[in-house]
C-alpha cells in the first residue's frame, strides 16, 4: 500500500502560523497579567499595559475563529482527496 504524502498549501501554512501566533501571544499576555498582578502585586498602568490587557480579549476569539477556519479547510481538502478531485 502506497503511503500518501501531503504538502500543505501556502494558504494552509499561513493559516496555521496565524492561529498559533494569535493564540500563543494571547496566552503569553494572559500569563503576564497573572504574574504581574497576582504574584508581584504591581499595579498595571500605562499604554503598554492596556495593550497587554486588551490583547487576550481580542486574540483568543480571533484565534478560535482561525482554528475553525483551518479545521474547515482541512475537512474540504480531505473530502476532495477521497473523491479524487485534488487541486
Between 86 and 82, the more confident residue is 82
Q: In degrees rounded to 5, what are phi and psi of residue 42?
A: -100, 140
Backbone φ and ψ for 17, nearest 5 degrees, come out as -65, -40
Q: State mean pLDDT over 41-66.
A: 89
- Mean pLDDT, all residues of the chain: 87
pLDDT the model gives residue 67: 96
pLDDT of residue 87: 62
Q: What angle separates helix 47-83 from helix 10-33, to the nearest 10 degrees? A: 150
Q: What is the CA radius of gyration of the chain?
A: 19
The span from the CA of 71 to the CA of 82, in Å, is 17
Q: Which of 12-21, 33-42, 50-59 has the lowest mean pLDDT?
A: 33-42
pLDDT, tens only, 14-33: 999 999 999 999 999 999 99
Amino acid at each position: 500500500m502506497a503511503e500518501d504524502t501531503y504538502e500543505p498549501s501556502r494558504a494552509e501554512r499561513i493559516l496555521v502560523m496565524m492561529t498559533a501566533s494569535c493564540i500563543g501571544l494571547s496566552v503569553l499576555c494572559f500569563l503576564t497579567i497573572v504574574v504581574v498582578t497576582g504574584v508581584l502585586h504591581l499595579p498595571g498602568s500605562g499604554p503598554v499595559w492596556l495593550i497587554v490587557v486588551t490583547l487576550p480579549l481580542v486574540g483568543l476569539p480571533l484565534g478560535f475563529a482561525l482554528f475553525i477556519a483551518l479545521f474547515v479547510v482541512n475537512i474540504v481538502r480531505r473530502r476532495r482527496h477521497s473523491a479524487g478531485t485534488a487541486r
